[in-house]
Structure 1
Amino acid sequence: MVYFLLTIILILAGIIFYQYKAKINRNRQLSYIQQKLTTIITNNTRENLLVFTDDKQLISLLTSINGLLNANQKILADYITNQESTKKMISNISHDLKTPLTVITGYLEMVALNKAIPIDEERKISKAYEKAEELQTLITKFFDLTKIESGDKQASLEKVNLNEVCKKCMLGFYEILTDNELEISINIPNKNLYAIGNEEILTRILNNLISNAIKYGSEGNIIGLNLTTDDQFIYIEIWDKGKGIQEKEQEKIFERLYTLEDSRNKMYQGSGLGLTITKRLVESIDGKIQLTSEPYDKTTFTIQLKKLTA
């Protein structure tokens, strides 16, 4: 009887030990699967999970995960293909439209300058010329955006004196600001600050943001520029105290073709491309841009660039 009980105990101990080892082995395999899956997702690779096991449940799980990975890879490949096709299509359309539209705009300008035209007809022609110019600007923005996103022209990064760039940009808008009776606030330190960037691109970025502040923030009667720094980065802030941007729209403001609800008001109409282009330009020089806005208090676009010592 004692031997029988000992035999039963040994068998049970063997079963428990086997289950313990099986659990440890499964936990190890599950940990590997989790780590490998994280690596595949993070690096966006085209790998599948491969684990040698006799565990039928793990095999079933791996089959399902690999099926999901393959489906995701196909969706991603289709998305990239569609994105490239769309970019090429927009670029081709923009390019094909630019020349005839330039000719049309030129003829309309010539006709508008003809003094023999009756006043009523002159107004209609001037309106047509204005709309043709708007369309030409929109097409140019589409063309610029596709060129930036395609990466055809990589920005050359260099040492840039941000004090000088900021001063030149604000000076370029001085007449417009004073004509609109807008107060100007400029906070630029005496010591020159240098960052990694591209002067031409940075000038375009600041011009876009200052124009945007004048167009949408003039109700606040003040436009400002701050240049500040910390140990690692330099920050350029373009701000105004106008109507601002509602919190629900702030995350979408840099999306392509996104326009604010106020775009129904002619005063605030835009193409929905200006800030998208600005964001892409900032990213092309390894910078970041963010928005904070409290309507009629302060709306600020902040550009962050890597700092360089003089």
Structure 2
Amino acid sequence: MITLAFCIIVILVIIIVLQYRMQTVRTAQMKKVAERLEAIMTDRTAEKLLFVTSDPALQVLMTKINALLDMNLKSSADNTISQIMMRKMLSNISHDLKTPLTVVFGYVEALSLHQDMDTEERQELLSKVHQKTAQTIQLIDTFFNLAKLESGDTEFPITRVDMSELSRINILQFYDMLSAEGLEVHIDIPDSPIYALGNEDAINRILNNLISNALRYGADGKTVGLRLREEHDMVCVEVWDRGKGVQDSHKNLVFERMYTLDDSRNKSVQGSGLGLTIAKRLVETMGGSIHLSSKPYERTVFSFYLRKMNY
């Protein structure tokens, strides 16, 4: 009986000693993991926790920590890009607002200093003041509309929309401009109605922005096209041109706020840099998607998809 009790005591002591050693090893390993994690976070490196251990729980913990490090690294990169874009956006906003306001100030100063100016010249200057003021207000409205879209403050009632009719109306609104530019226009819109789930005002804005963009950057290709088609359970609208297009390295940037091509400061092609951003936000608000494919001087296509509705 005494021998049995002694054996049990020995076994319990061995178990306690083994547990203590395991706990000591785990504590030491956890300390090393904590020290390595602190070094990675302090140095802001892209390193991962690489630690050899047979402890399953510690293996799972390090896997989770590495996943968190990946998320943190991506978040940091996204934040850096966002800050760069924000600085660029503020710089462009400042430039785009300052330019017309400076012109307006000059005109007003001329009117104030030259009281003896003849009526015709005065009227011409007042007309220019009105034009530049309207341009500034339109630009401010564009910034405001994008801010509302991104904050989710804008409501868009979703209904059944006749995409065939809206496509015709929007391309016809550019008829005079297309004619003045001497552009060849290709329109491929089915005679029968094609219905989509969307908001009429939003779709008009998208089409207006995409067609304006094609005219602004694709006019050198002398061809602009609009195509409406069905694709499975989606309705697709394509606005295309044969202009200089977008290089592969820039394709992921065209929908960013204030992104414009290199010649965007040229008065003949100047835009706010927000048209495509607004188009993307509107499409996504309606549950759709928008895409770009481009082969310079062959075919540059902006395509947006909305859910199809039956009659």
Length-normalised TM-score, structure 1: 0.63
Distance 1:179 1:150 in 2: 39
Instruction: Verify: 1:271 aligned to 2:272, yes or no.
Output: yes
Deviation string, structure 1 residues 21-46 (Cα, Å, up to 9, x no partner) = xxxxxxxxxxxxxxxxxxxxxxxxxx
Kindly report which structure 2 residues correspond to 1:165-204, keeping only aligned pairs within 5 A, or say none.
165-204=166-205
Q: Residue 169 of structure 1 contacts residue 206 of structure 1 at CA under 8 Å; is this kept in 2?
A: yes
1:308 maps to: 309
Partner Cα distance (2:63, 2:308) in 1: 48
Aligned residue identity for 2:142: K
- Deviation for aligned residue 1:268: 3.2
Number of equivalences: 236
Provide the rounded CA distance (Å) in 2 between the counterparts of 1:292 and 1:304.
14
Q: Which amino acid aligns with 1:293?
A: S
The CA deviation string for residues 149-176 of structure 1, in whole angstroms up to 9 with x for no partner, is 1111221111011111111111211122
Q: Indicate the residue corresponding to 1:216 in structure 2.
A: 217
- Name the residue aligned to 1:23: none
Q: Would the alpha carbon gap of residues 66 and 195 (structure 1) be closer, same or farther in structure 2, given more than 3 Å must change?
A: same
Measure, in 1, the Cα distance between the counterparts of 2:303 and 2:189. 15
Alpha-carbon shift at residue 59 of structure 1 (Å): 3.2
1:201-254, Cα deviation, whole Å (9 max, x unpaired): 101110111111112211222221111112211111111112222221111100
Q: Distance in 2 between matches of 1:71 and 1:282?
A: 30
Residues 1:118 and 1:137: Cα distance change in structure 2 (over 3 Å):
same
2:118 alignment partner in structure 1 = 116
Report the equivalent of 2:241: 240
Superposition map of 1:23-62 within 5 A: 56=55, 58-59=57-58, 62=61
Alpha-carbon shift at residue 263 of structure 1 (Å)? 2.5
Report 1:4-153 matches (<5 A).
56=55, 58-59=57-58, 62=61, 65=64, 69=68, 116=118, 131-153=132-154
Structure 2 unaligned runs (5+)?
A: 1-53
DSSP-derived class of the 1:185 partner: strand
CA separation in 1, counterparts of 2:128 and 2:254? Answer: 29
| Amino acid in the other structure paired with 1:116 | D
8 A Cα contact 1:224 1:238, kept in partner = yes
SS of the equivalent of 2:156 reads coil
1:261 offset after TM fit, Å? 2.1
Distance 2:123 2:129 in 1: 10
Relative distance call for 1:71 and 1:231 in structure 2 (3 A) is closer
In 2 relative to 1, CA 117–249 (structure 1 residues): closer, same or farther, beyond 3 Å? farther
- 8 Å CA contact retained: 1:228, 1:235: yes
Q: Is the 8 A contact 1:235 1:303 kept in 2?
A: yes
The one-letter amino acid paired with 1:58 is A
Aligned position for 1:154: 155
Q: Distance in 1 between matches of 2:140 and 2:257?
A: 14
Q: Partner letter of residue 288 of structure 1?
A: S
Q: Which amino acid aligns with 1:295?
A: P
Q: Deviations over 1:86-114 (max 9, x none)?
A: 9xxx9xx99xx9xxx8xx79x96xx69x9
TM-score by length of 2: 0.63
| Distance 1:191-1:296 versus aligned 2 partners, 3 A rule | same
Letter in 2 for 1:171: L
Contact between 1:161 and 1:195, CA under 8 Å: does it hold in 2? yes
1:128 and 1:56 mapped to 2: Cα distance? Answer: 76
Residue segments in structure 1 that go unaligned for 5+ positions in a row: 1-54
**In 2, Cα distance between equivalents of 1:199 and 1:219:** 31
